Amino acid sequence: MGIKITIIGGGSSYTPELFEDLLNYRESIPVTEVCLVDKNPDRLSILEKVAGQLVTKNKLELKLICTTDHKAAIAGSDFIILQIRAGGIAAQIRDEQLPMSIGLIGNETIGAGGFTSALRTLSTVLSIAGDIERLAPHAWLMVLCNPAGILTEALLNHTTVKTIGYCNIPINTTYALSEMLAVPPDQVSIDSFGLNHLSWIRHVTLDGVDRLTELIAHSPERETGLYKYGAVDGLIDPDWLRCMGMIPGWYNRYYYYPAEAFKEDSAQSHTKGQEDIAAEEKIKHLFTSQGYNDTAKQILESKGGAQYYLPVLQVIRSMLQDRGDVIVADVKNNHVFKDLPADACIETPVRVFRDRIEALTVEPIPLSMRGLLQQVKAYEQLTISAALTSSRTTALAALTTNPLVGSVTKAREFFDLMVNSEGEGIPRFH
């Protein structure tokens, strides 16, 4: 029996990568239909053409459907990939610029900007989940949109939809480590733990041997080892890397070096969102004139899209074949981390079977990371509560709890700016 995959937000410039990756999974994932749904008909038209070219080029025996009707797309789906950005890149830019205007980190996934992004996106995501409950109750929902940890937790705790979240940082780091170790990526196993966009790798296993200590030892300076291969961000100084004895995720730079990260971001002439607009214009031109080629791939990779769909397809394959493959994903805690709430969404290695996902037994959270993880998780749960209740008090509590905001004064200042800036795009707080 064939599989139907639906992409909500299918007009994204990242979408062609899925059709490239499906070529490598054609024997193990019998996809007979891929449905792209997007509310922007112009973007959808471009992606329909590009995706159609890839289907023909790669001789994929599947039916390509493109529609602006997400309910029609959801019906009959087996797997649904959610990759929307509420408000588009214009909203991303606001999430970057508004916090920075009052001296806070500006980012669409963490800090004050991530808070606004979550408020803007949660109601849409929960509405889509309601449609999935009615139209495709057996389907798995794969969350690729930001802030993925918050959205996945809300879906896990407030809907009946079978949900799993993703970040491409673990798989991109795996690829970087495999390059450094000069072996194929599937031979490298990582033990990554934490939350979405706040994680650490504490074991890197090759042939049953943990190579992490060796890899860190070969990274005495920023131009060497893990830094050279892109596994560690340059803002993390080598001495702190040795002190941790772990590989920190890219976003950890903002928590460990907030002043330096703010200074670095402020010195840029454009925010990431503004750079993304320029990149999207180039990609649009390439897609319409040449299709999906190496130049487009390089631009998308520079935006952070490399290996975007591989974890999703790995999970789908493991489910269909009941393989029990180990993949790093965002799932419900269920007491895996004793120091975090049982209903919290965590990022951890899981085994994927046909009818279930099992988080692997993990070591305790190290004391030096525990407090930060608990604080960020408290912020995330307060954010979900604020979005669901439209409570100004809860919203201020969430912002104050966020370590990248960190004070009542800043929380109030940002909250007022956000309400004036976003208008009807966020809940009407009382």
What pLDDT digit, counting tens, does each position of 197-223 carry? 999 999 999 999 999 999 999 999 999
In angstroms, the CA 293 to CA 82 distance is 24
Domain spans of the chain? 3-165
In angstroms, the CA 373 to CA 336 distance is 14
pLDDT value at residue 307: 86
The confidence band for 25, taking pLDDT boundaries of 50, 70 and 90, is: very high
User: What's the average model confidence in pLDDT over 113-132?
Assistant: 98
Alpha helices (runs of H) in 290-406, residue ranges in sequence order: 294-303, 310-321, 367-389, 392-401
Kind and range of the H or E run holding 351: strand 345-352
pLDDT value at residue 205: 97
Q: What is the pTM of this model?
A: 0.97
Average pLDDT, the chain: 96
pLDDT value at residue 347: 97
The confidence band for 37, taking pLDDT boundaries of 50, 70 and 90, is: very high
Q: Give the distance from CA 392 to its chain's centroid.
A: 27
- Which candidate, 89, 85, 138, 156, places its Cα nearest to that of 345? 156
Q: Is the pLDDT of residue 148 over 80?
A: yes
Neighbours of 95 (CB within 10 A): 31
pLDDT value at residue 200: 98
The confidence band for 58, taking pLDDT boundaries of 50, 70 and 90, is: very high
Can you state the angle between helices 148-158 and 367-389, rounded to 10 degrees?
60
Q: Is the pLDDT of residue 161 over 90?
A: yes
pLDDT value at residue 62: 96
The CATH topology of domain 3-165 is Rossmann fold (3.40.50)
Q: Are 94 and 108 in contact (CB under 8 A)?
A: no
In angstroms, the CA 115 to CA 379 distance is 9
pLDDT value at residue 339: 96
In angstroms, the CA 218 to CA 95 distance is 37
Kind and range of the H or E run holding 116: helix 111-135
pLDDT value at residue 303: 83
Q: Which two tokens stand for residue 39?
A: 């509310």
Return the SS3 of 156: helix
Q: Which tens digits make up the pLDDT trace of 213-255?
A: 999 999 999 999 999 999 999 999 999 999 999 999 999 999 9
User: What's the average model confidence in pLDDT over 279-302?
Assistant: 94
Which residues have a Cβ under 8 Å from the Cβ of 255 and sit 6 or more positions away? Answer: 198, 372, 403, 404
Q: Is the pLDDT of residue 257 over 90?
A: yes
For the chain, how long is the longest CA-to-CA vector? 59
The confidence band for 127, taking pLDDT boundaries of 50, 70 and 90, is: very high
Q: Which tens digits make up the pLDDT trace of 59-101?
A: 999 999 999 999 999 999 999 999 999 999 999 999 999 999 9
Return the SS3 of 209: strand
User: What's the average model confidence in pLDDT over 183-189?
Assistant: 96
Q: Is the pLDDT of residue 33 over 90?
A: yes
Q: Which tens digits make up the pLDDT trace of 296-353?
A: 999 998 887 778 899 999 999 999 999 999 999 999 999 999 999 999 999 999 999 9
- How far CA 120 is from CA of 101, 147, 275, 388, 423, in Å, comes to 20, 11, 22, 12, 10
Residue with tokens 């490298």: 188
Kind and range of the H or E run holding 227: helix 225-228
